[in-house]
Amino acid sequence: MKATPELIARLEERFGHAVIAYVDADGYPMSVATDFEVDETRGIVSLRAVAGDAQPPQGDRVNVVFSHIRPQPGVGYDERRYVSLWGPLRRTEGGLEFSPEDVQHWDEEEMSFFEYSERGLPQAHRYLEQVSAETGREVKPKLSFGWLFLRATRLPFLTATFVPVLLGIAVAAWTNGFNWWLALLTVVGGACIHLGLNVANDVFDTTSGADKANVNPTQFSGGSRVVLYGLLSLRTIALMSLGFYAAGIAIGIGLAAARGWDLLWLGVAGALLSFFYTAPPLKLVHRGLGEIVVALGFGPIMTLGAYFVQAQEYDLEPLLASIPVGILIALVLYVNEVPDRSADAAADKRTLPVRLSKDQVVNGYAAAVAVAFGLVVVFALGGWIVRPAIIALAAAPLALPVYRALKSSYDQPYALMPAMGKNIQLHLATGVLLILGYVIALIADGVLDDPPAFLT
């Protein structure tokens, strides 16, 4: 990279000293610190002369480095930045004059350490290949089985399945009855389909290049990256995905056989939507349908399915109860897509943040949250779902920091990360409170002879 006048002009305000590095007569590198001043008009750096054995050779190309950290006692340091310049050095009357030509630099205020690390991935793979060649054995990065499973499956995202499934079970317990074993099988079956989806998503985002193009992955976005990092092969995660789908489908067929074949249509719809979310030829997320698919799959389909397993019929109440949950889980995806939008666009994934402007995305978030909680109020006050479910409104304030962070940190993936976590909490807390609403209604109904209307 060529050194720019802007970069040179900022050296004095960003660094306290320079280090001149050169190769000495014995072939060893030598490096020595000195003071410096920038002459912006001439584009040169004036360096104070060094003395004794440490004098750099005149006329040679040298490396001049500016490095800064801020110590944090008892912790380590922050404010890491460096600028490494190469160019010719010559002696002047007052000292040394350096003409910067080439540069390498990093400033963690401008590029997060996570992004800096991601950009080092090709070098990491090259080095692993070299070490493999040197040692005659394949050298690969490692993670313990537990961490690798957690990372590859993105296990913590299972809350997206637990909420709608348990909500469906809770509604059924209120309207019809409840069977523990069926509930357990439903949760496990739903979780298997979800994990199959997570891993399939990685298979297709790896083959499409979407994950590789993304240099800003976060804890919540950018995929598991296990293939990209060389932790697992594409074949292994493809088999994992198939295994999860097979287990989920087997449980679904078993539940349909036991509780009614009408369950099958919903299960088939759910499994197909899940698989073709990223899989060709449909690639629904590439066609701008990802948010709707996720809202349907992790909202009405899972809640109605779990309800059917218990009640052996479909009903309006679980469908209505699932709509706010479906909207909020779509919003989890929607916010998580914000840092991925450049990489998604490059891979032709036309997600909403790819298609919309920042203002539209931020306002869209606020509007969707308002609709989700507005529906909770309407459904609960109207008696279409149990009235105690209105306590789900208590989760609504969690949307505020997400909204604010979208406005202030839209282009800063890592500053957005806490808000992404908060948005997941919004979905989880709302779902738990809706379920708790049904638990309150069940307890009131069981304990009181004639429970008041606001408790049912």
Partner 1 sequence: MGILPEPVEAVLETALVSELTVVDPAGRPVTHPLIPLYDGELIYLTSSILFSKKLEHIKANPKVSLSITDPAALEPGQVARATIQGDAEVDDSDLHAGWERVLPLWRKKEPAIDFFLGKRVALPLFFERSVIEIRPRKAFLWEDGRTDRPPQVFHVDPVLA
Residues that bind partner 1 (CB under 8 A): 16-17, 19, 21-24, 26-34, 48-54, 61-63, 65, 67-72, 74-77, 80, 82, 84, 86, 114, 117, 120-121, 123-124, 126-128, 130-131, 139, 141-143, 147, 150-151, 219, 229, 231
Task: Give the residue from 53, 142, 42 showing the smallest Cα distance to 98.
Answer: 42
Shorter beta-carbon distance to partner 1: residue 86 or 314: 86
107 within 8 A of 84, measured Cβ to Cβ: no
Shorter beta-carbon distance to partner 1: residue 76 or 452: 76
Q: How far is the CB of 56 from partner 1 (least distance, A)?
A: 10
Burial class of residue 189, CB neighbours in 10 A (0-12, 13-18, 19+): buried
Shorter beta-carbon distance to partner 1: residue 399 or 417: 417
Q: How far is the CB of 242 from partner 1 (least distance, A)?
A: 24
Shorter beta-carbon distance to partner 1: residue 15 or 314: 15
Q: How far is the CB of 281 from partner 1 (least distance, A)?
A: 33
287 within 8 A of 350, measured Cβ to Cβ: yes
Shorter beta-carbon distance to partner 1: residue 77 or 265: 77
Q: How far is the CB of 147 from partner 1 (least distance, A)?
A: 4
Q: How far is the CB of 65 from partner 1 (least distance, A)?
A: 4
Q: How far is the CB of 132 from partner 1 (least distance, A)?
A: 11
411-434 burial, b at 16+ Cβ within 10 Å, e below that, comes to: eebeebbebbebbbebbbbbbbbb
Residue 104 in tokens = 């390498």
Shorter beta-carbon distance to partner 1: residue 127 or 454: 127
Task: Give the residue from 331, 351, 227, 236 showing the smallest Cα distance to 283.
Answer: 351
The DSSP result for 62-85, as a single string, is EEEEEEEEEEETTTEEEEEEEEEE
Q: How many CA atoms are closer than 13 Å to the CA of 100, on its beta-carbon side? A: 32
What's the rounded Cα separation, in Å, for the pair 439 and 105? 58
DSSP state of 301: I
Q: How far is the CB of 77 from partner 1 (least distance, A)?
A: 5
Shorter beta-carbon distance to partner 1: residue 41 or 135: 135
Within 8 A by CB and 6+ apart from 155, the residues are 149, 195
